[in-house]
Structure 1
């Protein structure tokens, strides 16, 4: 009897080892720089990248050629950069400093305007921002939990404080009407622009560390700082699945729903990429990213479809991953 048990256990181990041998990485697409990336974001269509590196330089890149298309002059770079973003139409670069947004025209290569923002608490700094798809609105989140809902055309700003801690996650829907916020107070909420009443709000026991939203705004993923990672419907706030894994807990930094699939990609603080089935929470596998320095992490991810995933690491490495092998798991 004990022999049958041992053989069964060995089969499980062998199957697990075979699963781990599935190769997703196509290798390095390239390394953007040697100084490392502090903040990096792919454009909506994945053709461009904007980075803020450890030399305090802000640059816009062509992903296909890995060539710099625009660099913000050092003398016009804020002393403290809180966030950077490219507009959906790729015409504008937006830079968040501690107290204002700077709008740069990429076609003209010059600063267009600056807009100041604050919190309900004096001295509160910007912690996150997002520009609407039509470039007509901005959500600017603050360290004291304040949310600024700004109409950039009318210059009307509605300010309210639904959170008690820094807000670090903001996402727009594709119409520029709804947005999601996640904060260190553990609150995650869906809002309609102009209203201070949430459509729904979910509270975690610990701070929200990562958030991802489906492109069609049908669902979101959120993780707290300890052991709660859930996929939630954005139509009614009901839970769809909870991520399942063997270890006692995992750290989740970045997350991305893979278009046209039930796959969810997440990154850790230990140079790891994990892929999940978002429908049932099953972990499909975890792989190590390419890195130069210990502790390198994924700063952003992009997937145009269900076949290929691109990751950008804090080492400045672009890496491509083929997801087709996961269809059999």
Structure 2
């Protein structure tokens, strides 16, 4: 179930070099889903974070930062409320940017990015790359990074999940999945990994030993997984009707999200700091807020569509809580939008 390898080259070498596997396009949830009509909603504020369509985005857990990848302008790091990006990064030199997976560590100190063939670690304090690693086997589907940049989790299309420590070169390959991995997440301390794939299973496992802690089964392929940063909950969602919140300590189910649609896919998910709510994004312009204990929907918003798209569409890449009353979204329209919450 686990393969441990010690990398022998200095991981802080900023030159591109061969290491192990390969970084793949994260699954594109670009298809629009049939759903009931939702009234247009008005954001409190709007910022343009990409001149053309965005490929990927992530919002920090506290809502202070957003990282957005777009075709012509590479990777831009934005601070909440600022009119200009604080950093502009290029993943692999000249040419069109193809970074399609982005993750900000829970402590806001590091960012992990990946394209089809490589992944990178960036320092938010210095605004500089820590390292680039090229993949030789399979392709990357999703990426996540722990606090202090201690560990990077890389989910791949061959069913393997790699945990890699840039500062020590230590590497573990989790071999529990039988088919391609679609989504990964990591605990802030880097000790626990969550992964879900086309084999209808999500696993919570130890990055120290590679051993499975909990197994979460679904009736169809698992498309999204998310860990609560406080260690209380796990969220897993499949390509059909099961979107489940679990107890991270016991593995027991807490609630199933309540909706009547025959199919509902989510693209991002984050738990509120108090643990009472779950915020999710979808490929259908929708943002939903849920009661963790009951699975009932509390709020719903609809982001702006991409320009000149017919029918109007946008994928919600990132969602986050600014505070108790405000949420932030990043979507393929290239817009960051600020929304007010209604009372629960």
Moved more, 186-195 or 253-262: 253-262
| 2:156 maps to which of 142, 145, 162 | 142
Q: CA deviation at 1:109?
A: 4.9
Count of paired positions: 302
Distance 1:232 1:50, change over 3 A: same
**SS in structure 2 at match of 1:46:** coil
Q: Which residue matches 2:315? A: 297
| 1:93-242 equivalent positions in 2, closer than 5 A | 93-105=111-123, 109-117=127-135, 123-242=137-256
Preserved contact between residue 330 and residue 337 of structure 2 (Cα < 8 Å): yes
Bigger helix share: 1
Preserved contact between residue 94 and residue 103 of structure 1 (Cα < 8 Å): yes
Preserved contact between residue 117 and residue 148 of structure 1 (Cα < 8 Å): no
Using the alignment, how far apart are the partners of 1:93 and 1:77 within structure 2? 21
| 1:76 maps to which of 81, 85, 93 | 93
Q: TM-score, normalised by structure 1?
A: 0.81
Preserved contact between residue 155 and residue 181 of structure 2 (Cα < 8 Å): yes
Q: Which residue matches 2:51? A: 34
**SS in structure 2 at match of 1:296:** coil
Distance 1:277 1:172, change over 3 A: same
Q: Which residue matches 1:55? A: 72
Using the alignment, how far apart are the partners of 1:94 and 1:244 within structure 2? 33
Q: CA deviation at 1:271?
A: 1.4
The answer to whether structure 1 residue 43 and structure 2 residue 50 are counterparts is no
Q: TM-score, normalised by structure 2?
A: 0.78
| 2:268 maps to which of 248, 254, 264 | 254
Q: Which runs of 5+ in 2 are unaligned?
A: 1-37
Using the alignment, how far apart are the partners of 1:239 and 1:82 within structure 2? 31
**SS in structure 1 at match of 2:44:** strand
Distance 1:157 1:117, change over 3 A: farther
Preserved contact between residue 260 and residue 305 of structure 1 (Cα < 8 Å): no
Q: Which residue matches 2:23? A: none
Q: Which residue matches 2:279? A: 265
Preserved contact between residue 34 and residue 316 of structure 1 (Cα < 8 Å): yes
Using the alignment, how far apart are the partners of 1:130 and 1:263 within structure 2? 22
Superposed CA RMSD: 2.6
Q: Which residue matches 1:277? A: 291
Q: Which residue matches 2:336? A: 318
Moved more, 54-63 or 308-317: 54-63
**SS in structure 2 at match of 1:134:** helix
**SS in structure 2 at match of 1:158:** strand
Q: Which runs of 5+ in 1 are unaligned?
A: 1-19
Q: CA deviation at 1:52?
A: 0.9
Instruction: Select the structure with the greater relative contact order (CA < 8 A; seq sep ≥ 6).
Output: 2
Using the alignment, how far apart are the partners of 1:173 and 1:262 within structure 2? 19
**SS in structure 2 at match of 1:320:** strand
Distance 1:178 1:73, change over 3 A: closer
Distance 1:45 1:274, change over 3 A: closer
